[in-house]
Amino acid sequence: MDGSKRSSHGNAYFTGIGKNKRIVFFDTLLKGMEDAEVEAILAHELGHFHHQHIRKNMFVSFATSLLGLALLGYLINQTWFFHGLGVEKMSDYTALVLFTLSAPIFSFFIAPISNYLSRKYEFQADAFAAKHTNSKDLISSLVKLYRDNAATLTPDYLYSAFHDSHPSASVRINQLKKTL
């Protein structure tokens, strides 16, 4: 992917379902990597495919959406919901707008669960890559990736729980060193 027109950050990801699966490498990622490092990153992305992380994420997304719509269906008839947000006249449209505006406040507390699951998937993909390529190549590619993206190598644990979908570099590298 020609990511250099939008950003200098390097990235790679696995996406798609059915016959439309793709592994995407940003040109900015490929620029500074050795062939063995690219192979290790490819193995990591294949780990996401092997462990069916896209399918699992879709299921979680569908379940979360269903729960959100069920909650909206309940709140739409609750006068306390409207009055608590300073609205006197109840309507379906107003309920939707109020729900959309207030949902991020409450979903903030769900973020650590979502991020925990995402980090678990990253560890699984790392383990897959370590099994099929040289762990040292994946470690060196991670160091370059985190450095080039100016990512914090040791973020605060609590901040990370709420804001980071990927484990910190030091945690991932320590986990990968166990496979050497």
Instruction: Give catalytic residues, as residue numbers.
Output: 45
The token pair at 134 is: 């040289």
Contacts 24+ apart (CB under 8 A), 23-28: 23/49, 25/1, 26/1, 27/1, 27/2, 27/3, 28/3, 28/4, 28/148
Cβ 136 vs Cβ 173: under 8 Å: no
Helix (H, G, I), strand (E, B) or coil at 76: coil
178: amino acid identity, one letter: K
CA-CA distance, 51 to 38, in Å (whole number)? 20
